[in-house]
Structure 1
Amino acid sequence: MTPDAEVRIAGRALARAGLVHAYGHCSARLGTGVIVVSPAAPLGLVAPDDVCPMVPLDGPLPATVLGEVRMHRAVYRSRADVGAICRIQPPAVMALSVLGRSPRAVHGFSSYFAGGVPMFDSPVLVRDDAAAEAVAELLGGAAAIVLRGNGALVVAPDLRTAVCLAWYLEDTARTELAVLPAGSDVCLLTADEAERRATWEGGLAERMWAYLTAGDREL
């Protein structure tokens, strides 16, 4: 599968899962200094023949690329371990964020975020380099960062894992929101529980990818 095809498929998977709508984008690292990003269009409407732009990590951002791709570039420059990024608009994560909360390690799927999910405390679109670099700095070594009232950014070594983690992050937020009306705090995973649970053995990412991309026209 070509890198641009995988980006298109990933984008449509995020849309089918309700993690993006008219807005949202994803990208993958192609090699030293270059990434491929989804088209500037609703990801669920991206067609197999739509071109995924190649974007340099340095220099001016191409005019045809969405402004928030600056966040992708800033993260790739600061994290050599990141090979893919999903910029998502998940509703439960969004709801938690306006309460001033980011998802916590409360169940199996959230164990992958046990180190914490930082929150960028601004609802303003990240469309300048200074803000993008601030997001990357706050992300640090985490797997995701919440943008208050503005969705989230999820990072991983590859696109399939990034899509999987995007779904996990939203499920974490859904679970925490579901128990909030009970009026007592959730039972957080211990460090040992999270470490033992956050495994990728058994093809966990591959199975979630298969589930989310089932029926895609490019597969």
Structure 2
Amino acid sequence: MSNIDRLTLERRVRVAARALARHGLVQAWGHCSARIDGESFLVCASKPMGTIGRDEPGTVVRVNAPLPQGVLGEVRIHQQIYRLRPDVGGVCRIMPPHLVALSTLRVVPKPRHGVGAFNANCRFWDDPRLLRDDALAAQLADRLGDAPSLVMRANGAVTVGPSIELAAGFAWCLEDAARIETLVRSVASDASVEAACLTGGEIASRQVSSGAVFERLWEYLTAGDTEAKANEGGFPDPVWGTAS
């Protein structure tokens, strides 16, 4: 990777990290990364993501090597996902409140509205432990499979995408689906809760990224960030891997 490309990737990771914090998807904990190549990736600075400063560097991590000193232990989740998923270009480890609350009930938000369709194939990890050993992280990556997201019981979630921008976009969509799930369950009977979901055909019809859907979401997520650039180039059309 050239120095210019590395600087661009550093900036994209910083902007994504701050966007996740700005919208309450992470607090003191969480991290995000972007793939460099088949052997390495760049993870954000090991600090609360909302405090990552302009021009503050991340750390290059090898996929098949011990974590560098100072890198957070759960970054091994990123290692295992990049190892198993060559299609993944970005990973976000998030702790959004509605999603965490539902996860304690072993509930994964269902696709009940438009953006909820993008995580229709979300998986569930029924283990509240921190993932600080390679074997457990590998099991989680295997459980994720080809899905764009995985909810971890009482422990947040992981989202992935072909770029860091799309991984962050899926993170926002997942928490918005959890917000709608919480609202629906607060006002509906048990029978109507089960019925109030998009059908398979409706899910497919809403998993559409044309019309600058994710570009607009990225602009919303990064509004006010002086390092952000519109239309970053991380938005393939159509978005892959969201259908069951």
What's the TM-score once normalised by structure 1's chain length?
A: 0.97
For residues 145 and 207 of structure 2, the distance between their equivalents in structure 1, rounded to whole angstroms, comes to: 19
SS of equivalent to 1:2: helix
Runs of 4+ in 1 over 4 A off after TM superposition: none
SS of equivalent to 2:169: helix
- Structure 1 residue identity aligned to 2:160: V
**Which deviates the most, 102-111 or 182-191?**
182-191
- Displacement of 1:49 after TM fit? 2.7
CA-to-aligned-CA distance 1:97-147 (integer Å, 9 cap, x gap): 0011111111111111223x2111111111110110010010011110011
Residue 68 in structure 1 maps to residue 77 in structure 2: no
1:168 is matched with: 173
1:194 is matched with: 203
CA contact (8 A) 1:114 1:191 kept: no
For residues 160 and 184 of structure 2, the distance between their equivalents in structure 1, rounded to whole angstroms, comes to: 27
For residues 12 and 61 of structure 2, the distance between their equivalents in structure 1, rounded to whole angstroms, comes to: 16
Root-mean-square deviation over aligned CA pairs: 1.0
CA-to-aligned-CA distance 1:151-180 (integer Å, 9 cap, x gap): 000000011111111110000000011111
CA-to-aligned-CA distance 1:22-67 (integer Å, 9 cap, x gap): 1010000011201000110000000013211011101111121110
Residue 45 in structure 1 maps to residue 82 in structure 2: no
CA contact (8 A) 1:144 1:153 kept: yes
1:216 is matched with: 225
For residues 47 and 131 of structure 2, the distance between their equivalents in structure 1, rounded to whole angstroms, comes to: 18
CA contact (8 A) 2:165 2:218 kept: yes
What's the TM-score once normalised by structure 2's chain length?
A: 0.87
- Please list every run of 5 or more consecutive structure 1 residues that lacks an aligned counterpart in the other structure: none
Residue 80 in structure 1 maps to residue 86 in structure 2: yes
For residues 146 and 55 of structure 2, the distance between their equivalents in structure 1, rounded to whole angstroms, comes to: 35
CA contact (8 A) 2:38 2:86 kept: no
- Aligned-pair identity in percent equals 45
- Please list every run of 5 or more consecutive structure 2 residues that lacks an aligned counterpart in the other structure: 1-6, 229-244
- Structure 2 residue identity aligned to 1:111: A
CA-to-aligned-CA distance 1:170-215 (integer Å, 9 cap, x gap): 0000001111122331412111111111011011111111111011
CA contact (8 A) 1:26 1:37 kept: yes
SS of equivalent to 2:179: helix
Residue 102 in structure 1 maps to residue 108 in structure 2: yes
1:92 is matched with: 98
1:150 is matched with: 155
- Structure 2 residue identity aligned to 1:202: G
CA-to-aligned-CA distance 1:64-100 (integer Å, 9 cap, x gap): 1110000001011101111001100000000110011
CA contact (8 A) 2:119 2:170 kept: no
Matched residue count: 218
- Structure 1 residue identity aligned to 2:171: A
For residues 179 and 197 of structure 1, the distance between their equivalents in structure 2, rounded to whole angstroms, comes to: 19
SS of equivalent to 2:69: coil
Give the alignment partner of residue 29 of structure 2, picking from 20, 23, 28: 23
For residues 28 and 97 of structure 2, the distance between their equivalents in structure 1, rounded to whole angstroms, comes to: 13
SS of equivalent to 1:29: strand
For residues 209 and 159 of structure 1, the distance between their equivalents in structure 2, rounded to whole angstroms, comes to: 11
1:112 is matched with: 118
For residues 101 and 175 of structure 1, the distance between their equivalents in structure 2, rounded to whole angstroms, comes to: 13
For residues 44 and 91 of structure 2, the distance between their equivalents in structure 1, rounded to whole angstroms, comes to: 11
For residues 157 and 26 of structure 2, the distance between their equivalents in structure 1, rounded to whole angstroms, comes to: 10
